[in-house]
Amino acid sequence: MRNATRLLVMLIGALILAVPSALAKYPDRAITYEIPFNPGGQSDVEARRQQPRLEKILGQKVIVQYKPGGGGSVGWANLVKQRPNGYYMAGINIPHIILQPLARGNAGYTTEQLVPVALFQATPIGLAVMNDAPFQNLEDLVAYAKQNPETITCGGSGTWSGHHIAYLQFQKAAGIKMTYIPYKGASPSVAAFLGGHVKALWANSNDLFQHKDKIRVLAFGTEKPFAPMPDVPTFKSKGYNILASIDRGVGVPPKTPKAIVKTLEAAFLSISRDPGVQQQMLADGFVPLEMNSEESAAYIQSKVEEWAPVVKEFKK
């Protein structure tokens, strides 16, 4: 019995010593970077920009893989089930990761389970129509919608996403009824819009900027005009108190050791601080962000408190 006790003590001691040793070696193999949307969207664009830089900083391969569905919820439900060892991370989107658990009750994950590493990018949300649409401005669209309820079909990325909630807020503020068509990501929604399958589109600033010669952006959900498209009015300037943006970052599974989170945080923030990366982001129509893990967690909690009453209102 004494020998067995001694052996058990030695094994426990070895395990305790092994944990810091394993953390010290992190990372020592490839890391999976999950994108919970289809290829080609904003999360994918940024991940592909980061991928070679992450590999250089971390000294390991970074494998980008896609797990779309449910406006990102399929991927985030998958993330929280992964081992918290730093070898699996995923892009996170705000307000999606807040709205979905609040609205659905069972989204497959909770906001608190997602451990933010950093936030590094944002895209204001705008409402657009094609150049040949009969709506020259937001007033024209509102007037038509009042006379023709539910006939204006609007595309957007997912349900209980930033696009969906902006649509709901605008309908209420303008006193109109339209029809929202959710797609499994930004790229499919933009493709459907450009293909004539919907009459209007709730979309991110970089997509709208990229297609500015083909479309007419009626308004952006920003406090001030979006710098790359300064002639586009804000919803606020048109009398609608709507602020809408998607903030993007990366998260890891619950219970991931702080030392690992800090290693990844340093890598992502090093990239986001690079002036060349920031110039590329601005040229693409993105807004650079730079929040560490603690700042991101505090920001997310503030948004939970902000969005909870909004979701409660629209679920009635």
pLDDT tens per residue, range 209-223: 999 999 999 999 999
Mean pLDDT score of the chain, rounded to an integer? 92
Per-domain residue ranges of the chain: 30-122+246-314, 124-238
Residue 10, pLDDT above cutoff 90: no
- CATH T-level topology, domain 30-122+246-314: D-Maltodextrin-Binding Protein; domain 2 (3.40.190)
Q: Specify the pairing of strand 88-94 against strand 245-252.
A: antiparallel
CATH architecture of 124-238: 3-Layer(aba) Sandwich (3.40)
Answer whether 30-122+246-314 and 124-238 agree in fold.
Answer: yes
pLDDT band at 3 (very low <50, low <70, confident <90, very high): low
pLDDT tens per residue, range 252-279: 999 999 999 999 999 999 999 999 999 9
Q: Specify the pairing of strand 179-183 against strand 153-157.
A: parallel
CB 133 within 8 A of CB 199: yes
**pLDDT for 8:** 44
pLDDT tens per residue, range 120-163: 999 999 999 999 999 999 999 999 999 999 999 999 998 889 99
CB 113 within 8 A of CB 69: no
Whether a cis peptide bond, with omega within 30° of 0, leads into 228 is no
